[in-house]
Amino acid sequence: MSDKILGKIHSIETCGTVDGPGVRFVIFMQGCPMRCLYCHNPDTWEIDTKTAKILTVDEILEQYNGVKEFVKGGITVTGGEPLLQMDFVTELFKKSKELNINTALDTSGITFTPDNTEKFDALTKYTDLVLLDIKHIKDIEHKKLTGHSNKNILEFARYLSDNQIPLWIRHVVVPEITYKDEDLKELGRFIKTLKTVKALDVLPYHDMAKEKYKELGLNYPLEDTLPLSKEDAIWARDIILSQLYK
């Protein structure tokens, strides 16, 4: 079956250190429905692009085998939005688990539908960890930031919690958008309701993608927004965590 399912791959990082525990083999899938204002990978948006590499699961694992001595952490699938190619990711994770390879999914959860979880059940059966990006806790602000509602995303977090899937929550702190005391507290209160959160990554906004946007002929939406300092990101993380222990 794995030879029949084709994945549209943007790129592969053989020794990733920020996409799950340990040194990992990171697969960036092509395609994403969201248009986050601070997105640093706009070249992953379009799923039907001639620049994507078309690979089978076995071809991916063959590449992994070539570096497996250096990537003891396992495999992470990210994007783009990997859930757009769920059948491929499920087959990849299934075969990875047969080979005793740790699997992590880095996703926004945007495609989740709580009334039809059959495919998600199949995928999470082989998923050791989900790194879930919560862009904004308030729905109206999430729509401004990404072009989409966050309702299904929050439902996805609850689904993962209810099904005992380990979670890392990721949140990018952007000046004047998510760097707000009450929004951070509300996010903390939501995270407190989840039972399987193992880590919280609060990431400071940066503008290093500006040159990439220029190369692609795109306007950078946050042209006048200054990067956030690491100290401010630590402050934001402390605000979120303060709600978990109330």
- Which pLDDT does position 1 carry in this prediction? 45
Assess contact for 199 and 168: CB atoms under 8 A. Answer: yes
Q: Tell me: pLDDT of 54 over 60.
A: yes
User: Tokens in use for 68?
Assistant: 């497996």
- Domain parsing of the chain, residue ranges: 6-244
Q: Quick check: 42 pLDDT over 60?
A: yes
Q: What is the pTM of this model?
A: 0.95
Pairwise CA distance, residues 23 & 18, whole Å? 8
9: nearest Cα among 49, 40, 65, 61: 49
Contacts of 24 (CB under 8 A, 6+ apart): 15, 16, 17, 71, 73, 74, 75, 76, 104
Q: Which of 68, 91, 83, 86 is nearest to 22 (CA)?
A: 68
pLDDT at 165 over 60: yes
Average pLDDT value for the chain: 96
pLDDT digits over 179-193, tens only? 999 999 999 999 999
Mean pLDDT of 58-76: 96
pLDDT in tens, 191-230: 999 999 999 999 999 999 999 999 999 999 999 999 999 9
CATH code 3.30.70.890 for 6-244: no
Confidence of residue 166 (pLDDT cuts 50, 70, 90): very high
Q: What is the pLDDT of residue 246?
A: 75
pLDDT-derived band at 245 (thresholds 50, 70, 90) equals: confident
Q: Which residues contact 83 (CB under 8 A, 6 or more apart)?
A: 89, 107, 109, 110, 111, 112
Give the whole-angstrom CA distance, residue 238 versus residue 18.
20
Query: Predicted confidence band at 233 (pLDDT cuts at 50, 70, 90)?
Result: very high
| pLDDT (0 to 100) of residue 3 | 55
